[in-house]
Amino acid sequence: MTQQKIIENQFCEYLNNIQPKPEIMELLEYKLVHHWKEKNQHHKNQLKRDKTQLTELKSMKENLLNKLLKGVIDDDTYKEKVDALQNEILMLQENVSQGKVIDYDLEAYLKFSTYFLTNISDIWRKSAIKTKQRIQNFVFPAQIYFDGVNFEPLNSLVYWML
């Protein structure tokens, strides 16, 4: 067996030792999905309130124009009120445009993540060299060192998973 194969086998063993157990991943997945759904619902409710308020402000602006045209209010009052409303409308339009909910399949994403983290050794072993490098950079962003016997990560995802 070549030295490279020996080191790769040792690295796979290291990956096996650091990967979280499936039951831990299932619990984490459940909690993350539950938390995401709560946050997403809150975000959707806020977006709905902002849209409702935006509609009301636009209606108020239109009512001011009607009052101006009927001579109920003068030009200065109209300009003052419309400027204030326009500022609120612009802020709400910005909130609404930036606040669009990204509806993606979080559960599928988490299932993939769980699969990846609980099978990282096999995935790494079967991958092409470029993919192996990407996996290593993801799990060990500050690199991993091999002293000839042991692997030593610095500031890696590994510490979060342990």
Q: What is the pLDDT of residues 13-54, one digit of tens each?
A: 999 988 888 788 888 888 888 888 888 888 889 889 999 999
Query: 106-118 vs 22-69: helix axis angle to the nearest 10?
Result: 150
- pLDDT for residue 107 is more than 80: no
Query: Are 58 and 90 contained in the same domain?
Result: yes
Same domain, 52 and 91: yes
Reported confidence tier of residue 90, pLDDT bands at 50, 70, 90: very high
Residues 93 and 124 in one domain: no
Asked if residues 58 and 89 have their Cβ atoms less than 8 Å apart, the reply is: yes
* 94, part of any domain: yes
Considering the domain architecture, whether residues 94 and 48 belong to the same structural domain is answered as yes
Residues 54, 92, single domain; the answer is yes
Residue type present at position 149: V
Domain check: are 94 and 123 in the same one?
no
Helix (H, G, I), strand (E, B) or coil at 145: strand
How many domains does the chain contain in total?
A: 2
